[in-house]
Structure 1
Amino acid sequence: MSKQTAPREPEESLAALRGDCARMAPHWAVPAKTAPAPVKPSRIHGVTVPPASARLVDGMSAFGD
């Protein structure tokens, strides 16, 4: 009968990874959110879809695949 040993934990633990991320977070700049300007309905003329994309969407079920 062989003695089983516990699996070796990686050198980097989840706690270490979370600590690294917390230290890096202040360096990540997040741009301010800006709402897109509304488009006048008169400027909307329709949508052009490439034929291959139209066939792909046409072949999908009504609720997505």
Structure 2
Amino acid sequence: MTNLEANPSAPAEPDGGLASLRGDCARMVPHWAAPAHSEARPVSPSRIHGVSVPARSARLLDAMSDYGD
């Protein structure tokens, strides 16, 4: 999993598939900043905002039994 370049071509699967999901994640990486050291603390749902997920990625995750059931 070293090649994280986004593929701009149209996906072969209608919902994008795993390769498309990986590309979406690769494009979101620059927006995620991780501190050098962080403690695991609960976060209030009211503080979580501004997250957008492409519809095809949301449908792909919804179709996975680990996430959607």
Q: Does TM, normalized by the shorter one, top 0.5?
A: no
TM-score by length of 1: 0.34
Q: Which has the larger radius of gyration?
A: 1
The higher relative CO (CA closer than 8 Å, separation ≥ 6) is in 2
TM-score by length of 2: 0.32
